[in-house]
Structure 1
Amino acid sequence: MELEEVVALLDSWYPPRYADDWDRVGLVCGDPAAPVRRILLAVDPVAAVADEAVSLGVDLVICHHPLYLRGTSSVAATDPKGRVLHRLLSNGCALFTAHTNADAPEGGVSEALARALGLEQLRPLDADPAEPLDKIVVFVPVDAAEAVRSALTGAGAGAIGDYDSCTFTTSGEGRFRPLAGARPAIGEVGRPEVVDEVRIESVCPRPRRAAAVEAMLAAHPYEEPAYDVVELAALDDSTRGAGRWGRLAEPTTLRGFAERVATVLPETPHGVRVSGDPDQPVRTVALCGGAGDFLLDRARAAGADVYLTSDLRHHPASEFREHDGPALVDVAHWAAEWTWLPVLAGRLAEALGDTVELHVSTTNTDPWTFRV
């Protein structure tokens, strides 16, 4: 595999357009034409991970957190970030990051955390709006129907999930009378016509509307085709969005759930902090991998028994609990997001087979090193 092929695969799973405006994702360094034989997956692009990459002889490090979030005018090895970059480059190792674009989708960070905890019936806690769709409807003579269908689908209409070329056709009669100045493809000026026609319907991503209509009109035999473009209702995406909500297969107590969290996540000095009655029942869980206090209100609205995330601050947590919010479980940022790495490794192994050797870093890069 060449590096650009691996990058294209990652971008197809975690499209860069979904990254937050402030984020910096994608290929940080490396030659797109360079071969990739070994890959290391890690959460943080820090010195310890760079050293691990060099010791393993990997060609690519894929990290969740970006190396550079703010602009820089120098990558000299005079500061920690520059030293990481030089360590990787001098050993022929590329660096790629997928951050906020990897948080929300299926197979992303929050979903990986939810599945690691055994949650079922998953849905986004704050769903993204689904891609806006139109429905294009056109009436066409029977013998020209296939050409018009092909034109529509070739221009991007008719894609539904893992299917393309999706259309629906019904039969009927088209009636019209050409007037003076018309150049009818069928019939004569001044005489009413009845033509066997079909109605073709197909959904179309709104950004492809103009191209699909233009292609349809070019393929249609009529001088003045009859067609409709209908904007479909906006819906939430059932697979993409911030955080996750789910159910436990078996109810437990808050203490029991916290103990499960401590068992599933990598151990850190941070441990598992809990706010709530240890004996209260827990059936439904809301969570967000990484810093998730921006979803506190969503967790309350979802009716979850507990909300799990990282980096909760004193005042938001206190006010949340005072206003009858769910119990809170606060875990180490690194530990929660680490659960995504085995999921990503599995996807890469399935896609790349034995062409690439994969390593999941177990180096603890949490900034906190001990608790007194």
Structure 2
Amino acid sequence: MVRLAEVIAALDAAYPPRLAESWDSVGLVAGDPAEEVSRVLFAVDATAAVVDEAIDWRAQALVVHHPLLLRGVDTVAADTPKGALLHRLIRSGCALFSAHTNADSADPGVSDALAHAIGLTVLGPIDPKPIAAQDEWEILVPRTHVEQMMTALFVAGAGAVGNYRDSAWRSSGIGQFRPVEGAKPAVGTVGELHRVDEDRIEVVAPPSRRAEILEALRAAHPYEEPAYHVTERAKLPSSLGIGRVGELAVPETLREFTARVTKGLPATTWGVRAAGDPDRLIRTVAVCGGAGDSYLSTVARLGVDAYVTSDLRHHPADEHLRAGGPALVDAAHWATEFPWCAQAEAVVRAAHPTLETRVSTIRTDPWTVGAADC
């Protein structure tokens, strides 16, 4: 038996909600986390046709990339377009869950799936998210109280490094101090220099835990005035972030590379189009699943040969090329994000192999008529 909450836990581990942009809306939209799940459908959008498929297949969960309720709403009445979809899902016992910009910035995420679909070896993100700043605490404590101090620090939230807990560094030395008038020393005598065997404890902790750690430090330390120092580590780039930079095993012309992208992505009326010299050699490529014209200046600074994304506009693209930026390859928004569905399915299958899962092949790209159809 697999509960919806367990499916959500697997998706949240792969696509942490904390990575979502502040304006985004991700996570469980409808459904009971305690309910049992046996079938999960994956899609880019929760359109009427996709909801039909989920209900007809008797899925208990529909996982999508684009949030159904992204902007503020004051009604989900059944006579509204979005409300009608939610009512149908709820009546059929099918939950709705979305992973949007958190899936864009995850490692691996949406742009990794896009890069792999067109045969790129991923090197890193276009716009890395910094690793969250950490405090480094250095505390000097008598050797007799080291274990007591470390336990207090760990309970207060210090010592977590990735998947490790209770992490610390200890070094030994001799501390000295001279209590003066007004002091009430735990050891030593007022006016006399005192030396004691001490250890220096070093731990890291999130800045949000400073008050709790300082309180725990003072409570566990035997001295009236504990000696400690706090340093905030600089933010460093990580493998998380929007977009990816990758490279081809062998350079090819823009004309050949455009054909590669066309072959690697699902067909759409929009198709795939490129801007730049057709004979330009392409080796390094930036990709961004979904609308990516806000990163034109970023990829230009990266010095890549081409940029694959969607929803490029006339004037920004023209100005980018005239400024000497990389060649542009523009595909349909839905097509650039569709490869993520298989990635998300693999995440859930790895965590819960007994589940039945499938990726919807319904094309939710809104464009339906092209020149070839006329």
Q: Which residue of 2 aligns with 1:26?
A: 27
Q: Which moved more, 1:41-50 or 1:264-273?
A: 264-273
Matched residue of 2:369: which SS? coil
Poorly superposed stretches of 4+, deviation over 6 Å: none
Matched, 1:106 2:125: no
| Greater displacement, 215-224 / 4-13 | 4-13
Partner of 1:246: 246
1:11-57, Cα deviation, whole Å (9 max, x unpaired): 33333343233322221111222111211111001111101101211
Please say if residues 119 and 246 of structure 1, whose CA atoms lie closer than 8 Å, have aligned partners that are also in contact: yes
Residue 231 (structure 1) aligns with? 232
8 Å CA contact 2:136–2:233 kept in 1: the answer is yes
1:81 and 2:107 are equivalent in the alignment: no
1:221-269 CA deviation, whole Å, 9 max, x = no partner? Answer: 2221100011222322x21112111222222221222122112111112
Distance 1:255 1:37, change over 3 A: same
Contact kept, 8 Å, 1:47 with 1:80, in 2: the verdict is no
Q: Tell me how large the CA RMSD over aligned residues is.
A: 1.7
Q: Rate the CA distance shift 1:90–1:284 in 2: closer, same or farther, 3 A.
A: same
**Range that drifts further, 52-61 or 344-353:** 344-353
**Residue 361 of structure 1: aligned partner:** 360
**Secondary structure in structure 2 of the residue aligned to 1:214:** helix
Q: SS in structure 1 opposite 2:37?
A: coil
Aligned to 2:301: 301
State how far apart, in whole Å, the 1-side matches of 2:120 and 2:71 are. 36
* Structure 2 unaligned residues grouped into runs of 5+: none
- Secondary structure at the counterpart of residue 24 of structure 2: coil
Q: CA deviation at 1:123?
A: 1.2
Q: Confirm whether residue 115 of structure 1 aligns to residue 110 of structure 2.
A: no
TM-score by length of 2: 0.94
Listed one character per residue, the Cα deviations across residues 260-295 of structure 1 (whole Å, up to 9, x for unaligned) are 211211111211111112221111111111000000
Separation in 1 of the partners of 2:176 and 2:154? 27
Q: How does 1:157-176 map to 2 (within 5 A)?
A: 157-176=158-177
Partner of 2:350: 350
C-alpha distance in 2, partners of 1:192/1:201?
26
* Aligned counterpart, 1:209: 210
Q: Secondary structure at the match of 1:33?
A: coil
Tell me by how many angstroms 1:331 deviates: 0.6
Contact 1:345 1:358 in 2 (8 A): yes
Indicate conservation of the 8 Å contact 2:115/2:122, yes or no: no
- Distance in 2, matches of 1:46 and 1:252, equals 38
Range with bigger deviation, 357-366 or 40-49:
357-366
Residue matched to 1:11: 12
Q: Deviations over 1:137-161 (max 9, x none)?
A: 0111122212222222332222223
- Is the 8 Å Cα contact of residues 16 and 25 (structure 1) preserved in structure 2? yes
CA separation of 1:140 and 1:298: change in aligned 2, threshold 3 A? same
1:85-164 matches, within 5 Å, as 85-164=86-165
In structure 1, give the amino acid aligned to 2:370.
Answer: R
1:169-318 to 2 correspondence within 5 Å? 169-236=170-237, 238-318=238-318
How much does 1:121 deviate? 4.6
Corresponding residue number in structure 2 for 1:331: 331
Residue 341 (str. 1) matches residue 341 (str. 2): yes
TM-score (norm 1): 0.94
Distance 1:350 1:342 in 2: 12
Q: How many residues align?
A: 370
Q: Sequence identity, in percent? A: 53
Matched AA of 1:366? D
